[in-house]
A and B are shown apart, each in its own frame.
Chain A
């Protein structure tokens, strides 16, 4: 099949960008969306033009590197699917697709469809960890974890930090991401000693970046490739209220 792509091209973070249209020929239904872009890039390079820059790594939907808007929807609008896992069988010959990078002050465009997501790393650095002494691996059942807590922590840990939640949010808020990371560790017994401090520090780090705040539209949940529920945002809020009002003297 043949497609028309309208792609955001931007030389670097400071340059002004614009949309450029390309024809992609010979796309087959068994290709992934990124393989289709590889095809375009091979063609561009053969013609001596700069390839379209997009981030990717595992191409299995688990690393969180890839992501951009396809026709206005982050990751292309198939629930629970990253662009790398999006199959070309969902498209048909003659389709016209617009590819646009994540737009947020906290995620400046580096080049074409690639944005700088290190703001997420700084939120993680503020408290997305547990401080445990290193040494031999502890016994598997030394710390018992209730089934529901383990399930919730696992659901939250599924967040791959792709940034689609920020991209889809009308306010460019990072609350789904931050709440997933906080819920992951705050649900487990190993995360309890630092629970209040973690919540305060990660929310503060989130506020220090240029993200907006949640107005409960639910756009983030709808495009999240790992289907993280906005319920976690409510949990984060509760944990923050508790940490702010009940922390012991310091």
Chain B
């Protein structure tokens, strides 16, 4: 009996036992990834309401805070969602970091001649693309959520989503950084969605091609939806 097999059995909590195994960490990455993909789709759908004009999207931002009343108070559901997302992001990054450290240690002497035959650029950029996304998310929260960076004093106004987005994206470097981050998101999801399904054991030799295609389509639709906003602002279509 190996040492960690004993440790796995001795773990009092079954979820803890799962987390302590290599495969369990991958499962956590897949499940938290699924939560984050769901959020990103909802976020994108909310964003493109900007094309319906200021009244509608600003009303939508109030709706997000008022939904659930009277069971939940103003903004409470939003905070519940934020906490779930924060926990998901922390678990996703923690598992990724632990697995990456382990994977680096597994090949201390590298190859001189090794060629990749099957992998994709999306798969190879998962780690650094993920780091870029983490940096972007922090900036994005300070930018559009808090209005603490990227705005002239007094320019950012809470709940005035339309006006904030237009003013925010009129700063060209910020709009370009946003588009760059969305490229990273697109690549991350192209590999990530399919990869999560594979980790959970839903991919078979029969459906792998179609699941890869669906994964890519979802990534592209999310990408197109997100970048349509800064491009429209930069082009002057939304002002």
Q: List A residues at the B interface (Cβ < 8 Å).
A: 19, 69, 71-73, 77, 98, 100, 103-106, 126, 168, 170-173, 200-201, 203-208, 210-219, 221-223, 229-231, 233-238, 240-241, 244-245, 250
Nearest-neighbour CB distance to chain A for B10, whole angstroms, equals: 10
For the complex, would chain B's binding face be called helix, strand, loop or mixed by DSSP majority?
Answer: helix
From A218, A221, A223, A241, B27 is in contact (CB under 8 Å) with A241
Q: Is the CB of B4 within 8 A of A207?
A: yes
Q: Is the CB of B112 within 8 A of A216?
A: no
For A19, A77, A203, A207, the residue with the greatest tally of chain B CB atoms inside 10 Å of its CB is A207
Q: Is the CB of B118 within 8 A of A217?
A: yes
Which chain A residue has the least Cβ–Cβ distance from B199? A237
Q: How far is the CA of A203 from the CA of B112 in the complex (A)?
A: 30
Which chain A residue has the least Cβ–Cβ distance from B204? A231
Which chain B residue has the least Cβ–Cβ distance from A211? B106
Q: Is the CB of B201 within 8 A of A126?
A: no
Nearest-neighbour CB distance to chain A for B39, whole angstroms, equals: 22
Q: Is the CB of A215 within 8 A of B195?
A: yes
How many residues of chain B are within 8 Å of chain A by beta carbon?
53
Nearest-neighbour CB distance to chain A for B97, whole angstroms, equals: 13
Q: Is the CB of A222 within 8 A of B118?
A: yes
Q: Is the CB of A215 within 8 A of B5?
A: no
Q: How far is the CA of A77 from the CA of B201 in the complex (A)?
A: 27
Q: Is the CB of B205 within 8 A of A244?
A: no
Which residues on the B side are within 8 Å of A216 (C-beta)? 123, 191, 194-195, 198-199
Q: How far is the CA of A244 from the CA of B14 in the complex (A)?
A: 6
Nearest-neighbour CB distance to chain A for B227, whole angstroms, equals: 26
Q: Is the CB of A205 within 8 A of B5?
A: yes
Which residues on the B side are within 8 Å of A105 (C-beta)? 105-108
Nearest-neighbour CB distance to chain A for B26, whole angstroms, equals: 7
Q: From residue 162 to 184 of chain B, which have CB atoms closer than 8 A to chain A?
A: none
Q: From residue 98 to 146 of chain B, which have CB atoms closer than 8 A to chain A?
A: 99, 102-120, 123-124, 126
Q: From residue 188 to 239 of chain B, which have CB atoms closer than 8 A to chain A?
A: 191, 194-195, 198-205, 208
Q: Is the CB of B119 within 8 A of A71?
A: no
Q: Does chain A have a CB within 8 A of B80?
A: no
Q: Does chain A have a CB within 8 A of B75?
A: no
From A205, A211, A214, A222, B117 is in contact (CB under 8 Å) with A222
- Chosen A-B contacts, 12 in total, with CB atoms closer than 8 Å, are A98-B112, A98-B113, A105-B105, A204-B8, A216-B191, A217-B123, A223-B117, A234-B199, A237-B26, A237-B200, A240-B24, A241-B23
Q: Is the CB of B21 within 8 A of A204?
A: yes
Which chain B residue has the least Cβ–Cβ distance from A77? B117
Q: How far is the CA of A98 from the CA of B111 in the complex (A)?
A: 11
Q: Is the CB of B118 within 8 A of A219?
A: yes
Q: How far is the CA of A100 from the CA of B195 in the complex (A)?
A: 30
Q: Is the CB of A69 within 8 A of B111?
A: yes
Which residues on the A side are within 8 Å of B195 (C-beta)? 215-216
From B9, B23, B27, B114, A72 is in contact (CB under 8 Å) with B114
8 smallest CB-CB distances across A and B, nearest first, come from A212-B106, A234-B201, A72-B115, A238-B201, A204-B5, A212-B103, A171-B103, A217-B119
Q: Is the CB of B109 within 8 A of A103?
A: yes
